[in-house]
Structures are given as C-alpha cells and as structure tokens.
Structure 1
Amino acid sequence: MLQTKPNRANLPAQASSALRETLKADEALLLVSASEGDSNMLYAVGMFVPDPFIFFQHKKKKYVVMSDLEVDRAKRQAKVDQVLSLSDCQKKLRNTGNSSPTLIDVLDWLFRERGIRSLIVPANFSAFLMDQLRAKGFNVEIKRDPFFAERETKRAEEVRHITESLRVAKLGLEAGIRALKRAKPGRGGTLYLNGSKLTSERLKTAVNTRIMAQGWLPSHTIISSGNQCVDPHHEGTGPIKANTSIIFDIFPRSQKNGYFGDLSRTVVRGRASDRLKKIYATVQAGQKIGFDLIRDGVNGKEVHQKILDLFAREGFPTGQIKGRMQGFFHGTGHGLGLDIHEAPRIAPVDATLKTGHVVTVEPGLYYLGVGGVRLEDVVLVTANANKNLTDCPQFLEI
C-alpha cells in the first residue's frame, strides 16, 4: 500500500473537548483500529496509519501507542498529547515476568497504571477485545455513532477540505462529459468513441484517471445508463446508448486529509424523450425545495416529505411498480465529511439540521423504460439558509 505522507495542517482537528470534560477520573475513551479505514480514529489523531494501533483519552490528555514503524512519524504528525512506544510498553511488561505480552496485556497495564477502570468504545470495536477487557475487570460501554458528536458540525477548515474535494469531483465529471461529446451513435444507437463501443467502464476510466491525477482517490464511481439507473447504486456496466439517461455519481476522497466530495449529474448524449425531460425538470424542482428549506432548526424529515409530495403531485409515484421499487426511494441527503455517508440524514427519519452541518441534496426519480435522474449538490447549513458548496452546472442534453 502506498502511504502518502499527510500534511499535518490539512488533517482533522483534535477530538471533542466536550467529551474530555465529561470523562470521570477512572474513565477513558478507547479506539483500537487503523486510521486508514476508521474515520473516528482519523478524526481523533489526524494522521493516516494502515495498521491498527491504540488511541485512548483520559482526563484532558490524548495518547497513542505506536509500533516502531510508526512511532517517530506519530511524534511529528499525531495530534495527541503523548506518543507512547509499543516496544517500550512490552519491554516493561517483560521486566515484570511476562515473556510474551499481548495487546490485552499492554492495555491492562496502561489503564491500571493510570487508575482507569471504565472504557467507552465505538460501536465497531472488536467484540473479542471487548470480552478480554471485561474479563480483566474493566467496565466497557459502547457509544453509538457519532462517537465524536462534534463531527456533525464542520469547522471552516473542514468545509474548505470538502469544497476542494467537490472541485475534484467536478474535474472528473468534466472528463467524462468530454468523452461523451466525442462519442457518436452507431448501430442500434450504441455510442462509439475512436471506433470502439463507449462503455460505462471506459467512461469511469476517464473520470477516475482525472481524479487520481489530482491526488484524490475515486471509489466505486457510478456511471450507469438506461434501466441500470433504476438501481441507484448500480455502478454501471457495458455499452452506453444515445438518447438515454446517464447518471454520474462521483465521490472522490482526498489523500491529504481524508475528506470526501459527492457530486451527481444526469445527462443524455443526444435527445431526451419528453417524459425524461419532465422527470429532469421535476427533480430540479425537488432539489430547489431542499435549497429553499434547509437551514438551522429544520427537520430533515419534513424536507424529504415535501419533495416526495411534489413528485406525487407531478405524477411520479413511489413504490412497488412491476415487482420492483420505482420513483423516489432513497433519502434526500446525508452528512458528508471523513465518511461518504454520515449524520445527519435528510430522509424519512427525524433529524434536526444545525448550523455547520454539511449535507448533500440529491433527490432522484427512477422508472423502468425511461431510466433515472439524480442531481446532487452539497450545502453548508447556516442560521437562516444554506450555502451551496458545489460549483457545477446542470444540463441534460449534450
């Protein structure tokens, strides 16, 4: 695995001071994971590490325990109060007669030395390690996400990181659109580019290559067409035809700081049918409802329902049609940050939007025989309105 050396100034700030203040003298927060794949750990320590390590927070201090491979880098980059050497911990345990100290032995020694008896762990914490800790006499409490509640409210620096990832998503989209514009219809309406069939795979290569050239990582980029669009998470496969809907859903992640962008657009190479044009205009109107309503104090459930109501009034029902879900059967939006999907949600569940939330606004309509339309922008919730962080035009026909 290529390990990019992150810029400390670009990485997430320290974890919650609020949690620090509520911890009792014998309590600690505990994470044991790799920050490369665990957003809570990345948020806590502010550096990418590909292998699991120990993070704990006791009273007003944050600690990491690092292997010899990472300890010196952690001293430069980790946003913690103290970096402990795993080798030193193991050496001290061997001096007490433990010839082969394990992870649970190290944790037991660290916590007893500091008078810690109770631990707060995230929902994805290892069940095996939790059992071991309890067997050692520790009280272990599971805290559901958001483990760090303040992750929902983005600081100005985080908003900048997300905006930059949105810029890169737009660059990827533009690469795909350029390829589509050069494609010409052939037999059966299939699009051809440079003499070969234009497929979803070829378009994704163009999009993803452009994204990677910027230093971002694409992941499961969606470019689906026709009836594939009716499954909103279908990544797309095979030849693309003229005069049919093509959904781009692009969500690159920065290799510097871990923040995602998320952008969806729907286009047609050629001419859209009258029904597809109406669907597109209706989805745009639904997205405008989101833009008009989203602000501090609004319940996301109400925003979602008003969009559903509009779609129904315009003659676009949602439900089981011909044996499968059709219409608008996903949420209007979700939080965006170090995870592609995080709290809060704008969906059929209660969720109060607050100043500082960064959420997607992505209504869609999907019907067999027509395809689908999804339009997605990202907004920052403010006291009286919202600010659109996405700078990307919307157009149907190309």
Structure 2
Amino acid sequence: MSQQRIETIQKWLKDQNAEFAFIQSKANLFYLTGFRCEPHERLISLFVFQDKEPFLVCPNMEKPLISQAGWAYPIIGYSDHENPWELINKYLSTYSFEQNIAAIEKEALSVARHEQLQNLFPTFTFVNCEQGIMEMRLIKNEDEIAILREAAKLADFGVEVGINAVKKGRTEMEILALIEYELKKKGIAEMSFGTLVLSGENTANPHGHPNTKQIKEGDFVLFDLGVVVEGYCSDITRTIILGQPTEQQEQIYSTVLKAQEETLHICREGTILGDLDRKARSIISNAGYGEYFPHRIGHGLGSEVHELPSLNETNNDRLQVGMTFTIEPGIYLPGVGGVRIEDDVLITKQGHECLTKFPKELQIIHS
C-alpha cells in the first residue's frame, strides 16, 4: 500500500516540476507510511523524491515501530541530543537537483520548520502539496472501508453505552468517562476527538464542553463521539431526552431528523456537494430555525476526523463512489437546547451506505 501511494506522490511531483515533498503532518505520514504516532515537539518527517528512494526522519525510539508498520525504505534516526536537520543536510549532501522547487504542507508546517528547510535549500521556492495528498485520500479503497465500518460499529457501541447510562442526577463527565472506559475495554486507545456528552442548555452549543452538571428531567442529552481504528476515524452524534419532551423539543427533533433523512436520500454518485447543505438548510429554515443551524452539513472522514470533502453550500464538486463523510444537521436554540443527528456515510455504486447504524428516532429516557 505504501509503495503505491509513494509512487502516486512521485508522479505528482513530476507533474509539478518539484524535486521533493517534505511531509510531516500526522495524518499524511500515516497515509504514506502506515506509521501513526503523536511526535509532540520532535521531528518526524518524510522526504519523497521524483526518482530517488524516499526516507523517513524520526527519533531513534520510534524506529522499531516504523519498521513494524511496514516501512521498507531508509530511516534517519536521531537521539534527543542531536539536531535532526544537521543529519538531513549530511544525508542530502550527495544529491543534486535541477528544479529549485519543493512541496510542503503549507497549512501544517510551522514557521520554524519552514525556516529550517529554507536554510537547507536557500534557492528553492515552495509549493503546497496538501491538496494533492488530500485528493489521493478522498476515495477510499476496500481495505479502508472495512476499517471505517469497524470504527463506525464501535461508535454505535459508544452511543449505546452513553444512553444506557443516562439517569437523573448523573453528570455529563460521569457518562463520558463510562463511555470511554467501555471502549478502552474493547481495545480503543484513541478517540477521534474529545468526546461530548452535553445536557440541557449545554446542548445549544455545537461544540460545548462537558462538565459536572447534573442531568435533570426534561433535558436534551447529546452524544458526539468517535474512535480511531487502525488509523481511521468515526464520528457519530445522537440526541435523546430525559423525561417527557415539550412540544417545542419534539418539533426541533423532528425537523433535524427530517433534514438528515432527506439529505441522506440524495447522497449518491454525481450529486453536487453543495446541494446536500442546501437541502438540509432549506428544511430547517422552512421550519423557522434557519438562524440556529450555524455549521455546514458535514465533512470528509478518514485518517482524520475532518478532511476533504467539505460539505458546505459553496462546494460544486460532485459525490464519487468511495467518498466517506458525515451528514449532521442541527438546531441549537439558546435557553432551550440543541439537537444534532450525525451519521458516517459511504458513497456506493448503488447510492449510499450509512456506516453508523444506531437508531435515530427520538428516544425518551425515564429514570
């Protein structure tokens, strides 16, 4: 897998007349090498050339894990007392370049590391390779889809644990801890993002912060979580209510559910991505809640929990078989609460498949 992806990058470099690509973001490194870790302040980077062997730069402590991940090319290891840039410079001293162009991840690369590269290659100009790599990552193969299905299944499980734990007087953080504890028992070492368990007025914040607030009768309770399985992420949101809902709460929920279901109905090859956002937005706006739907309908999903495509109303790209993304309309009413329903979606030749399958009908919990 790494070999094929490296060759694709090499072809892209030739098309761009770029001598090499310098890759150091966590997700892109994983995609191209099979190795996933959190390097903290230490440099882990990949150099890919048009027609030379690629090599990795990493702390010596990571070398065994990189080899275990299947990386078969050279590795430059360094200890904490060594300067990796000096080792890179020494390794490259015999290389000659004709085009003074290199590719970097402009969104992910720090100013400090860009300056180090510029010191090594003072005559070079730098182009952005992120779009090219993201387009490679856009369409998932069968192996990736199988992993994403497993990640979605475990996200379903996490929501089930959370809902079963809801009762009057229990805190958001208590339920959150139980969800992650049960997932860790199943071998999940990493969540896709910080798990959200929000209740009452806290659900009116799309990215609210769980706290020690006790859940009370009449509260919406919103769960937003995902897990990382073999380097791939899932992302699900479900909203329930503790006790008898008000007429307004029922209306908000039914509007979000309708927006999600009708948007899913048009998820098929060839659909313009912006149409997905417009479909959900029109339903929510027609119900009188347009100003309370402040975010796009969804985002791409893969080795990052947010990647291409961006499902906003200005995106005129079309859905392709093998794309994976979320559909997640929401209504967030200050002083009342919010509802979001989110699924992970795969575009297939037949239309689409929801990878997350936990029921979406309003669940009313009686404690």
The interval holding the TM-score normalised by the smaller chain is: 0.7 to 0.9
TM-align CA RMSD: 2.5
Moved more, 138-147 or 268-277: 138-147
2:72 is the counterpart of 1:84: no
Contact 2:22 2:48 in 1 (8 A): yes
Label 1:112 to 1:367 Cα distance change in 2 as closer, same or farther (>3 A): same
Tell me how far 1:165 sits from its aligned partner: 1.2
Q: Alpha-carbon deviation of 1:87?
A: 5.8
1:43 is displaced (CA, Å) by: 1.2
Distance 1:59 1:383 in 2: 35
How many pairs align? 348
**Amino acid in structure 2 at the alignment position of 1:343:** L
Which runs of 5 or more structure 1 residues have no equivalent in the other structure? Answer: 1-10, 89-99, 184-190, 192-196, 319-326
State the match for 1:245 in structure 2.
220
Contact 2:204–2:335 at 8 Å: present in 1 too? no
The percentage of counterpart residues that share the same residue type is 24
**Where do residues 1-398 of structure 1 align in structure 2 (5 Å cutoff)?**
15=5, 17-24=7-14, 27-32=19-24, 38-51=26-39, 52-60=43-51, 61-79=53-71, 81-86=72-77, 102-116=83-97, 117-123=100-106, 124-136=108-120, 137-143=122-128, 145-148=130-133, 149-180=135-166, 183=167, 191=168, 197-216=169-188, 217-218=190-191, 219-237=193-211, 238-254=213-229, 257-318=230-291, 327-352=292-317, 353-383=319-349, 385-396=351-362, 397-398=364-365
- Whichever of the two has the greater Rg, that structure is 1
Cα gap change, 1:129 to 1:312, in 2 (>3 Å): closer
Shift of 1:144: 5.5
Deviates further, 129-138 or 332-341: 129-138
State the SS of the aligned residue for 1:236: coil
Instruction: Tell me how far apart the structure 2 counterparts of residues 308 and 334 of structure 1 sit (CA, whole Å).
Output: 15
Mapped partners of 2:272, 2:150: distance in 1:
28
TM-score (norm 2): 0.87
Per the alignment, in what secondary structure is the counterpart of residue 284 of structure 1?
Answer: helix
Change (3 A) 1:307 1:215: same
Determine helix, strand or coil for the equivalent of 1:267.
Answer: strand
**CA distance in structure 2 between the partners assigned to 1:63 and 1:347 by the alignment:** 37
Work out whether residues 14 and 45 of structure 1, in 8 Å CA contact, stay in contact via their aligned partners in 2. Answer: no
Query: 1: distance between equivalents of 2:78 and 2:151?
Result: 38
**CA distance in structure 1 between the aligned counterparts of 2:93 and 2:132, rounded to whole angstroms:** 24
Cα distance in 2 for residues equivalent to 1:109 and 1:26 = 21
Contact kept? 2:20, 2:103, Cα under 8 Å: yes
| Amino acid corresponding to residue 179 of structure 2 in structure 1 | V
Classify the secondary structure of the residue corresponding to 2:177: helix
One-letter amino acid of the structure 1 residue matched with residue 62 of structure 2: E
SS in 1 for 2:20: strand
**Conserved in 2, the CA contact under 8 Å of 1:66 and 1:74?**
no
Distance 2:162 2:105 in 1: 39
Q: Secondary structure of 2:5's match?
A: coil
- Whether the 8 Å contact between 2:227 and 2:233 is mirrored in structure 1 is yes
CA deviation map 1:50-94 (0-9, x unaligned): 433231111253322344333344334243x41234369xxxxxx
Q: Aligned in 2, Cα 1:75/1:372: closer, same or farther, shift over 3 Å?
A: closer
Q: Report the Cα distance in structure 2 between the residues aligned to 1:373 and 1:337, rounded to whole angstroms.
A: 25
User: For the residues of structure 2 that align with 1:68 and 1:305, how far apart are their CA atoms?
Assistant: 50
Q: CA shift at 1:392, angstroms?
A: 1.0
Shift of 1:26: 6.7
Report the Cα offset of residue 131 of structure 1.
2.1
The amino acid across from 2:89 in the alignment is D
Q: CA deviation at 1:267?
A: 0.3
Gaps of 5+ in 2: none
TM-score normalised over the length of structure 1: 0.80
Question: In the alignment, is the contact (CA less than 8 A) between 1:133 and 1:140 conserved in 2?
Answer: no
Residues 50/287 of structure 1: CA separation in 2 closer, same or farther (3 Å cut): closer
Change (3 A) 1:73 1:276: closer
Counterpart of 1:7 in structure 2 is: none
| Corresponding residue number in structure 2 for 1:187 | none
Give 1:13 deviation, angstroms: 7.8
Query: What is the alpha-carbon distance in structure 2 between the residues aligned to residue 171 and residue 12 of structure 1?
Result: 31
- The whole-number CA distance in structure 1 between the counterparts of 2:2 and 2:147 is 10
Q: Which runs of 4+ in 1 moved over 6 A?
A: none
SS at match of 2:103: strand
Q: Deviations over 1:204-254 (max 9, x none)?
A: 111111111122223421111121111110033211111221111111223
Q: Distance in 2 between matches of 1:236 and 1:26?
A: 46
Q: 1:202 to 1:23 in 2, by over 3 A?
A: same
Residue 299 of structure 1 and its aligned partner are, at CA, apart by 1.9
